Structure 1
């Protein structure tokens, strides 16, 4: 079960939804969600990473009666997708890739989502799920039917979070090294996949991804520029999820454009000149 239709169009259309219709999810949609979760280990390049669980909600309480709340001004959601992962760097990155695949699939179904990494009670969700030693809940997303007209406070939240603003190409993408910015005109067949990275969601819209494209345009090196102390109170680096999201956006766009590639960890050893920038992955054309 792959994403249907045009995933690039889906990426362009998706927005974080905080206000939902007070209507229960249909049995068909719940079945679709659960089936896709089971399918992820087969269709993801990283296989099974952690777990993703769907919890149905009625009046902000699960079937077990646990109150899950209306965190971050989330209103009338009828379910949550809950992620479970180990805390190490590569587990978080790969998990976020898989979680974003599911978020995009829900978008195609006409369902609303909103990545949440810090503004929810992990203890409440832990009462619902089996979280093994060494694992934790890095993120959740509400699930529901979006209101056609967002409420005023929903628009206000987007404005405060700068959700509709994105950094310019020259601040995110680089040509051969960090000394030269990459322009759209010189990106070649990678222009659309890179643009899908640029418009992808990230915590507080920080967009911590920094991508360096090789001279032959056959390799793309993914780096993270950490925001110091950004999520230190949570006990993990939330921005690693953003890199997994960016990798998913890039990879799925490439696949739609029939650009075959694979993910490898082969640090090119570039001169970074910024102690906050860290190499993570390379996409290599096949």
Structure 2
């Protein structure tokens, strides 16, 4: 995995979006660890077996080594580098991409480096000039990286308030017991309480938290659904919320691994009645 598996749950809890960075360059030790992680293909193969393409781009005053100015519309200050990801534009490729990109975000968090998922607040054309992109691929998201500046801008605090970054939905709005008719409580989640809680606290576009989980009565299977926000990100030409589902799967699986709960991903839609047309089945996690 590249990071300390024994502390991944704590890493998930402390991860926050960082938009203002210290002007210190990333240390050589950290750069070497990042490059080592990124040259290993295993972290970039998702649950559906699709391999992502993720690259590191160094910047000085938002200008790359090639002299290309990267645009983030004033959202990011003093980044030391960017991680840029490339994917195909289809459902499972985007879910896989969200999963592998988030695993890298957690690795960077473990190194005490700040990150910020960016799907719509950056100039894609400027980033596309910096990296090579195959036909049929595009850049779903990027993240700046660097050391967090202790004193955050008022802009950062205001943005967290606007997107309600610190206001996560309660369990009863996200998780269900055997069917969508019965909300799931922490008390009835058994040993999956922590993995499910890690899904709840995970990052998502505009903090919409589109994941909906249904835990079977025998507590052996957890079905993952997405509740699409109508027309969200439609102007970008791809469903950004599919990345959120990859994030949810990553948080859930890594927490299970730390807790020695053995399971696997399977696509086999259950006969569960969905409450509205915006909900779509994605995948199921089953105990081995």
In structure 2, what is the equivalent of residue 84 of structure 1?
A: 86
Q: What is the CA–CA distance in structure 1 between the aligned matches of 2:75 and 2:52, rounded to whole Å?
A: 28
Q: 1:174-213 counterparts in 2 under 5 A?
A: 174-213=176-215
Residues 40, 48 of structure 1: 8 Å contact kept: no
Q: CA deviation at 1:43?
A: 7.7
In structure 2, what is the equivalent of residue 124 of structure 1?
A: 126
Q: 1:121 to 1:224 in 2, by over 3 A?
A: same
Q: What is the CA–CA distance in structure 1 between the aligned matches of 2:155 and 2:104, rounded to whole Å?
A: 27
Residues 41, 48 of structure 1: 8 Å contact kept: no
Q: 1:17-96 counterparts in 2 under 5 A?
A: 17-41=18-42, 44=45, 46=47, 47=49, 49-71=51-73, 73-96=75-98
Aligned length: 286
In structure 1, what is the equivalent of residue 13 of structure 2?
A: 12
Residues 60, 68 of structure 1: 8 Å contact kept: yes
For structure 2, the residue ranges without an aligned partner over 5 or more in a row are none
Residues 40, 98 of structure 1: 8 Å contact kept: no
Q: 1:27 to 1:134 in 2, by over 3 A?
A: same
* 1:6 match: secondary structure: helix
In structure 1, what is the equivalent of residue 163 of structure 2?
A: 161
Q: What is the CA–CA distance in structure 2 between the aligned matches of 1:29 and 1:40, rounded to whole Å?
A: 19
In structure 2, what is the equivalent of residue 152 of structure 1?
A: 154
TM-score of the pair, normalised by structure 1 = 0.97
Q: CA deviation at 1:44?
A: 5.0
Residues 179, 272 of structure 2: 8 Å contact kept: yes
Structure 1 runs of 4+ aligned residues shifted over 4 Å read 42-45
Q: CA deviation at 1:22?
A: 1.1
Q: What is the CA–CA distance in structure 1 between the aligned matches of 2:187 and 2:73, rounded to whole Å?
A: 42
Q: What is the CA–CA distance in structure 2 between the aligned matches of 1:240 and 1:196, rounded to whole Å?
A: 17
TM-score of the pair, normalised by structure 2 = 0.96
Q: What is the CA–CA distance in structure 2 between the aligned matches of 1:137 and 1:45, rounded to whole Å?
A: 17
Q: What is the CA–CA distance in structure 2 between the aligned matches of 1:226 and 1:149, rounded to whole Å?
A: 36
* 1:222 match: secondary structure: strand
For structure 1, the residue ranges without an aligned partner over 5 or more in a row are none
